[in-house]
Structure 1
Amino acid sequence: MKKEKVAFVVVRYGKNINGGAEYHCQMLAERLVSDYEVEVLTTCVRDVATGENIYPEGEEEWNGVVIRRFRTNPVQREKERYFAKKAKPARKLRQFLFKLGILKYLSYLIPVWTYKNDDEVQAMKSDKFYSSTLNDYIRDHIDEYKAFIAMSSDYVTFYYTALYAGSKTIAIPTMHNMGISFRSVLTYAFSKIFYVGFNTGEEQKLAENILGKALGPHGILSVGIEEPLSADWEATKSKFQLPDEYLLYIGRITPKKIHCLLSYFVNYKKKYSDSSLKLVLVGGLAMERFEHPDIVYTGFVSDEEKMSILQHAEVVVNPSRYESLSLILLEAMNQKKPMLVNGHCKVLKEHCLKSDFASFYYLNGSDFNRALYRIEQSEALRREMGEKGKLYVEENYSWPLIIGRLRKAIELN
């Protein structure tokens, strides 16, 4: 019996692609190949910054998944900025009503917003990921697929998948409390989608409060984690000149992501001069390098090197204010590493509470100092947090559980 076809829709996909939504998509897609004929519909773009068509248009197969690539339309940056600016009042109004706590209730009167819709659509049509040929393919081939799985509500591909195949679309929005989530067009998109799968309870609450009645059937899908092989520690340590004891950050190194972390850590070292911790930053440097004797930059590392560095960290930190899940938190917990996270991010704080504090959260520099010093000074506490974290991941993020939920959502249609 021939397998039914399922298509993931994401802006980028492939061997040399790094990105949260893209990696999330890959992990899910490759685990469905035993049950479905799995495809990924994507663009020819490789670099998010340029939006240039680099990959050839057409089909290729990778790890059992058929990748169909479509060229994006010419980027019109000035036009996009013009219409995004014209559309901004809608986002601002919806954000204001959200902050007042009434946006959800207003949706029972106005479930689908049309205010500034035309401007938002024009902005999307000028976006670097807009592909009219990809949209046409979804519209013309909808009957060939059991389901379309649209990744990340931030992207133009999400809207057009909902527009042309909403009745067969499972959305994985990875939504954040940011301006882009308050666009009027999203109320229309979500009203068309037959099922929405969230990463966490906090993300689900956020969407319920933003979308209200426009949000149809939904629940928690989430994602599991990969466990790549670990590189030789001594070789890795020598290659990157790593210290014996360190606080670890893994991710893009930008002012927006780590500015507070840098200042908090420097102040921590001043306050606790007896601390032997150094800060190791793993990832691409996209800012001016901040020089400090206790801060180590590795640049990009392989998956195996990353795992080795993670396994030998004392503590792992995620300073982000915006997360819909945090794979690095789950990876660290799975390796029995204590976590320190930004408590202003409700998703990260939820992980702390649900894991019985396998992770500590901070709200300011003083909190950061207290929490980190407490963890650094107690091996017993680190061991206790590690055991709690491992149990939390096993009970909530195992692949059989995650893929079982996704299969069930697909078969709902």
Structure 2
Amino acid sequence: MSGARRPRVAMVVQRAGREVNGGAEALCRDVALALRSVWDVTIVTTTAIDYGTWAPDYPAGPGDIEGLPVLRFDVDEPRSPRHFDTLSARLLAKIGTAPLAEQEAWMRAQGPYSTRLLRYLEDHGDSYDLVIFYTYLYATTYFGMPLVRDRAVLVPFAHDEWPIHLSMWNERFAAAREVVLSTSEERDFLEARFGRPFAGPVIGIGVDLPEDADGSRFRQRCGVANPFAIYVGRIEAAKGCEQLLQDFAQHKRRVADDLILVMLGRAQMALPTLPYLRPLGFVDEQTKFDGLAASEFLIMPSALESLSISLLEAWSVSRPVLVNAASDVLVGQSRRANAGLWYGDAAELSAGIDLLRGPAGRELGANGRRFVAERYAWPRIIEAYQHLYERFAVPVSSPA
């Protein structure tokens, strides 16, 4: 390959855009934006924002995210949550014995299934040196990888949820030119699940240390006067939010303090009206960092994570974290950073709140900022992806 030609790389993800609220989608977007300094990157995705229905929110065709090229394709049909839940329950009941055809029917229903996107990969995939698929769980990855088999790299965002135990994934994980990991805990899980080594690099994401995060601006803009814990992410039961509300309610019954819970993100579940709960919906990046800076600490109640970007963002503004002890990934991140505590029930959450509101919280937050500066600087992430390219890139055939 000519040293003068910039590498051409496609990144395939189920949704993409500043309005999209999701960890894997944010990682793909931010990595793509960072790598455009050294690669010609195109994001290949669907027109959807809502992962529950895959309804078309963006126009199909070429677009951009802050000048980064994006190709969006319509999904063949929206997802029916009721039909999908029925298929999921049926498949879960025979997870070790279901035939491949039934598993693939479930994957089509899971979506987003886009004939046009898949046809683009089939017709133009060989015009890219690498095609990187973000998150294993969706149809864009499962049906897209075989079309570019010789240049497919997988960033799975895997954790111990029931779909990863379907046998259909055995071939996909084996066929990837490389599997890029987000944490060492993800590597441990995949090696246990598939019974073989995963020697791919642990890369993760870069985090800029914000110098202009302003807690006072957040309080004024959002009308929040009380000290508060903050949650950032999709608000749904699968992320532990329902249990968090129960645990936080127990804390408030135990302690008559002035702490409230602020939640940033789109709500996929009904939220009660409570004097100590402030759901503010999806907010822009500046407001998110201002909110983190204004908070006492971040709470992350999910038991199923492969990398928590929210933890890194909280640490970037020197805020400690309180995480679900059931998540090996979250506990591992917090241990390595020495920047958080973990809880297993409501009593431990309450004790963690008490500790993080004191001097220990300030010390842990400072540790987190140092950790992010050392481990998650963008130059390090870019270098790791460049090494990946040097090892696995396949010469292109012709421009797309």
How many Å separate the matches in 2 of 1:238 and 1:166?
52
Q: 1:33 Cα shift?
A: 1.2
| Alignment-derived partner of residue 401 in structure 1 | 380
TM-score norm. by structure 1 comes to 0.86
Q: Secondary structure at the match of 1:141?
A: helix
Q: 1:369 Cα shift?
A: 1.8
- 1:350 and 2:332 are equivalent in the alignment: yes
Pick aligned residue for 2:192 from 195, 209, 215 = 209
| Alignment-derived partner of residue 3 in structure 1 | 6
Which ranges in structure 1 are unaligned for 5 or more consecutive residues? 95-114
| Alignment-derived partner of residue 339 in structure 1 | 321
| Alignment-derived partner of residue 371 in structure 1 | 352
The one-letter amino acid of 2:56's match is: N
Asked if 2 retains the 8 angstrom alpha-carbon contact of 1:79 and 1:123, the reply is no
Higher relative contact order by CA 8 Å / sep ≥ 6: 1 or 2? Answer: 2
- 1:182 and 2:183 are equivalent in the alignment: no
Asked if 2 retains the 8 angstrom alpha-carbon contact of 1:203 and 1:324, the reply is yes
Distance change in 2, residues 1:295/1:133 (3 Å)? closer
| Alignment-derived partner of residue 138 in structure 1 | 121
| Alignment-derived partner of residue 155 in structure 1 | 138
| Alignment-derived partner of residue 369 in structure 2 | 390
Q: Secondary structure at the match of 2:266?
A: coil
TM-score norm. by structure 2 comes to 0.89
How many Å separate the matches in 2 of 1:83 and 1:225?
39
- Number of equivalent positions: 387
Q: Secondary structure at the match of 1:170?
A: strand
The one-letter amino acid of 1:294's match is: Y
Q: 1:28 Cα shift?
A: 0.7
| Alignment-derived partner of residue 153 in structure 2 | 170
Which ranges in structure 2 are unaligned for 5 or more consecutive residues? 393-400
- 1:264 and 2:267 are equivalent in the alignment: no
The one-letter amino acid of 1:326's match is: S
Pick aligned residue for 1:20 from 14, 19, 23 = 23
Q: 1:302 Cα shift?
A: 2.5
The one-letter amino acid of 1:316's match is: L
How many Å separate the matches in 1 of 2:188 and 2:180?
12
How many Å separate the matches in 2 of 1:375 and 1:14?
34
- 1:362 and 2:343 are equivalent in the alignment: yes
Q: Secondary structure at the match of 2:19?
A: coil
How many Å separate the matches in 1 of 2:350 and 2:49?
40
Asked if 2 retains the 8 angstrom alpha-carbon contact of 1:243 and 1:278, the reply is no
Asked if 1 retains the 8 angstrom alpha-carbon contact of 2:21 and 2:233, the reply is no
Query: Equivalent pairs: percent with the same residue?
Result: 27
How many Å separate the matches in 2 of 1:82 and 1:302?
35
How many Å separate the matches in 2 of 1:405 and 1:175?
20
Q: 1:259 Cα shift?
A: 2.1
Please, which moves more after superposition, 192-201 or 242-251? 242-251
Please, which moves more after superposition, 326-335 or 390-399? 390-399
| Alignment-derived partner of residue 395 in structure 2 | none
Q: Which runs of 4+ in 1 moved over 6 A?
A: none
How many Å separate the matches in 2 of 1:6 and 1:352?
33
Pick aligned residue for 2:62 from 39, 59, 63 = 59
Question: RMSD value over aligned CA atoms?
Answer: 2.4
How many Å separate the matches in 2 of 1:58 and 1:244?
46
How many Å separate the matches in 1 of 2:54 and 2:21?
14
Asked if 1 retains the 8 angstrom alpha-carbon contact of 2:190 and 2:198, the reply is no
